[in-house]
Structure 1
Amino acid sequence: MSLERGIHPISSELIDRERRMVERRIKQARFPTTKSLDSYEFKAMPSLNKLLIMELARCDYITRNENIIAVGNSGTGKTHIAPGLGLAACQKGLAVGFITASALVHELLEARDDKRLLRLQKQLAKYRLLIIDELGYVPLSPTGAELLFEVFSGRYERGSTIVTSNLPFDEWTSTFGSERLTGALLDRLTHHVHILEMNGESYRLKQSRSKPVG
Structure 2
Amino acid sequence: MKPATPPGPPTAVSRVSEAAAETAISAACRALFLPTIRTQAAPLAAAAARERLTHQGYLAEVLTAECDDREARRRIRRVKEAKFPRAKTLDEFDTTAIPDLPPATLAQLATGAWIEAGQPLVLLGDSGTGKTHLLIGLGTAAAEQGRRVRYVSTAALVNELAEAADAKQLS
Q: TM-score, normalised by structure 2?
A: 0.65
After superposition, what is the alpha-carbon deviation per residue over 1:19-76, rounded to whole angstroms, capped at 9, x for unaligned? 1111111111111122110101112331222210111111111111111111100111
Indicate which of 19, 36, 57 corresponds to 2:72: 19
2:117 pairs with 1:64: yes
Alpha-carbon displacement from aligned partner over 1:115-151 (angstroms, at most 9, x marks no partner)? 32xx32xxxxxxxxxxxxxxxxxxxxxxxxxxxxxxx
Q: Is contact 1:33–1:80 with CA below 8 Å preserved after alignment?
A: no
Residue 61 of structure 2 is aligned to residue 8 of structure 1: yes
SS at match of 1:57: helix
**Does the CA-based 8 Å contact 2:81-2:150 persist in structure 1?**
yes
Aligned length: 118
Any residues of structure 2 matched to 1:3-152 within 5 Å, and which? 3-116=56-169, 119-120=170-171
Q: Distance in 2 between matches of 1:44 and 1:78?
A: 10
Measure, in 1, the Cα distance between the counterparts of 2:122 and 2:168: 31
Conservation of the 8 A alpha-carbon contact between 1:22 and 1:93? yes
Alignment gaps of 5+ in structure 1: 121-214
CA RMSD of aligned residues (A): 1.3
| Greater RCO, CA 8 A, separation 6+ | 1
User: Computing the radius of gyration over CA atoms, which structure comes out larger, 1 or 2?
Assistant: 2
Identity %: 37
Structure with bigger helix share is 2
